[in-house]
């Protein structure tokens, strides 16, 4: 495949809204690892529920010590039992105070909306929200040059301010990856996407992934997943008021 | 009545952004500037309570509770937004 050629595109209708939750925490110990390590167990009066730790974001302190704080992205349909003050541990059936939830879980899927007849996905201004797409990497991907993802988005109400976006990739390798616990690779970001000065105008911006670890080593012909997140809690970079409205995404070979 | 706490101001901030997003009404403020405007509005209301009270007729001054005076202020201000918005607060106006 020649550099610059489109590999695959996704529209809002391709989104599978993840039934996942963000929950803030403070750390009491060294587990789970910062980039997710499969399962976390939430311990509390009413729930000893398993959740898959999809990703962990640090907003303060240092992971591995007792001063870390941030929020975890967890997938589990028993979240109604989780409350602020419960503890979590990892990969064990034995309770241990490896950290404490400091808030109740917040649902985080981008919501479907229609703007002037066009399907869009609304990403909130204060809660990080996600959209998930999946497909097969086209056979004509060279497997060496990486990909450049172009995202189109409008603002619902703002004509000033910036958006911060992150894009995660996950490869599903033949007879290797367990989709129940497989995590996304570290995200690549575009943290300073200006809102369009005209309401209803679409901004196009790019997020680049080099071949290899940044793409979770997705190979040609392999099933893969894409997770797009507006990092609304990025207080330094995301200051656009109101929703961002996603209109589509293109993956091209870099 | 004291100023609203941070949680209440944050709730207004989130709710107002979602409301405006639903309307797709253009605002040329970022999140930080909008939050500052909410804080300033709450502070102004707090600082001018006595002035508002003085402006009310004597009967209202002496017979309405603080919450009722606040509601009075809100619905008159809401009517300046729109009749439809006021109906969302009061149920019906005619």
Contacts by A76-81, CB closer than 8 A, 24 or more apart: A76/A21, A76/A42, A76/A49, A76/A50, A76/A51, A76/A52, A77/A19, A78/A47, A78/A49, A78/A50, A78/A51, A79/A21, A79/A49, A79/A51, A79/A105, A81/A42, A81/A44, A81/A46, A81/A47, A81/A49
Tokens of A149: 């993802």
Q: Round to whole Å and give the CA distance between B93 and B91.
A: 7
pLDDT at B61 over 80: yes
pLDDT at B10 over 70: yes
Chain-chain contact of A241 with B30 (C-beta, under 8 angstroms): yes
Q: Flag whether residue B7 sits within 8 Å of chain A, measured between CB atoms.
A: no
B58 three-state secondary structure:
helix
Q: What is the pLDDT of residue A124?
A: 96
CB B76 within 8 A of CB B89: no
Residues in chain A within 8 Å Cβ distance of B13 = 126
CB A157 within 8 A of CB A243: yes
Mutate to test the interface with A, among B14, B28, B35, B36 (most CBs of A within 10 A): B28
C-alpha pair distances (Å), B81 with each of A156, B74, B78, B90: 20, 11, 5, 14
Q: What is the pLDDT of residue A33?
A: 55
Q: Round to whole Å and give the CA distance between A160 and A162.
A: 7
Chain-chain contact of B30 with A161 (C-beta, under 8 angstroms): yes
Residues in chain B within 8 Å Cβ distance of A162 = 30
Chain B residues 15-34 with CB within 8 Å of chain A: 17-18, 20-34
Chain-chain contact of B24 with A115 (C-beta, under 8 angstroms): yes
Q: Round to whole Å and give the CA distance between A64 and B87.
A: 54
Tokens of B88: 């969302």
Q: What is the arrangement of strands in the sheet containing A188-194, beginning at the earlier edge strand?
A: A129-136, A223-230, A162-172, A188-194
Q: What is the pLDDT of residue A98?
A: 77
Q: Round to whole Å and give the CA distance between A66 and A216.
A: 30
Dihedral sign, Cα of residue B13, residue B14, residue B17, residue B22: negative
Q: What distance in Å separates residue A190's CA from the closest CA in chain B?
A: 18
Residues in chain A within 8 Å Cβ distance of B30 = 158, 160-162, 239-241
CB A137 within 8 A of CB B5: no
**Segments of chain A scoring below 50 in pLDDT:** 34
Chain-chain contact of B24 with A156 (C-beta, under 8 angstroms): yes
Q: What distance in Å separates residue B71's CA from the closest CA in chain A?
A: 27
Chain-chain contact of A125 with B31 (C-beta, under 8 angstroms): yes
* Interface confidence (ipTM) of the complex: 0.84
How confident is the model over B37-65, as a mean pLDDT?
Answer: 97
Residues in chain B within 8 Å Cβ distance of A199 = 24, 26
Q: What distance in Å separates residue A240's CA from the closest CA in chain B?
A: 5
Tokens of A83: 């409350």
For A157, which of B14, B27, B32 is closest by C-beta distance?
B27
Q: What is the pLDDT of residue A207?
A: 97
Q: What distance in Å separates residue B11's CA from the closest CA in chain A?
A: 10
- At residue B53 the predicted structure's pLDDT band, cuts being 50, 70 and 90, is very high
Dihedral sign, Cα of residue A9, residue A151, residue A186, residue A156: negative
Contacts of B10 by beta carbon, 8 Å cutoff, 6+ apart: none
Q: What is the pLDDT of residue B29?
A: 96
Instruction: Please tell me the pTM assigned to this model.
Output: 0.88
Q: What is the pLDDT of residue A206?
A: 97
CB A200 within 8 A of CB A95: no
Mutate to test the interface with B, among A241, A243, A244, A245 (most CBs of B within 10 A): A241
Q: What is the pLDDT of residue A147?
A: 97
Chain-chain contact of A241 with B34 (C-beta, under 8 angstroms): yes
């Amino acid at each position: 495949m020649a550099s610059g050629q489109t590999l695959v595109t996704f529209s809002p209708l391709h989104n599978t809204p993840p039934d996942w939750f963000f929950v803030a925490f403070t750390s009491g110990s060294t587990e789970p690892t910062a980039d997710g390590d499969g399962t976390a167990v939430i311990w509390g009066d009413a729930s000893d529920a398993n959740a898959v730790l999809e990703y962990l974001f640090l907003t303060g302190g240092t992971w591995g010590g007792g001063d870390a704080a941030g929020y975890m992205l967890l997938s589990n349909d028993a979240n109604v039992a989780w409350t602020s003050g419960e503890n979590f541990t990892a990969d064990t059936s034995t309770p241990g105070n490896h950290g404490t939830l400091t808030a109740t879980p917040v649902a985080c899927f981008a919501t479907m909306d229609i703007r002037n007849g066009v399907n869009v996905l609304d990403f909130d201004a204060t809660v990080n929200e996600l959209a998930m797409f999946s497909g097969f990497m086209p056979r004509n991907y060279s497997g060496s040059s990486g990909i450049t993802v172009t995202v189109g988005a409008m603002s619902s109400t703002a004509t000033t301010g910036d958006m911060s976006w992150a894009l995660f990739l996950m490869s599903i390798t033949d007879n290797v990856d367990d989709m129940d616990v497989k995590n996304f690779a570290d995200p690549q970001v575009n943290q300073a996407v200006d809102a369009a000065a005209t309401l209803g105008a679409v901004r196009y911006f790019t997020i680049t992934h080099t071949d290899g670890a940044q793409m979770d080593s997705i190979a040609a012909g392999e099933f893969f997943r894409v997770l797009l997140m507006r990092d609304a809690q990025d207080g330094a970079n995301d200051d656009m008021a109101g929703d961002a409205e996603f209109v589509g995404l293109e993956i091209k070979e870099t | 009545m004291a100023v609203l706490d941070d949680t209440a101001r944050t709730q207004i901030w989130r709710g107002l952004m979602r409301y405006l997003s639903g309307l797709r009404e253009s605002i040329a403020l970022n999140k930080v500037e909008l939050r500052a405007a909410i804080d300033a509005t709450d502070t102004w209301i707090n600082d001018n309570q006595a002035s508002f009270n003085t402006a009310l007729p004597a009967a209202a001054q002496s017979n309405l509770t603080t919450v009722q005076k606040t509601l009075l202020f809100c619905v008159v201000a809401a009517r300046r937004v729109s009749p439809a918005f006021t109906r969302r607060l009061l149920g019906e106006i005619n």
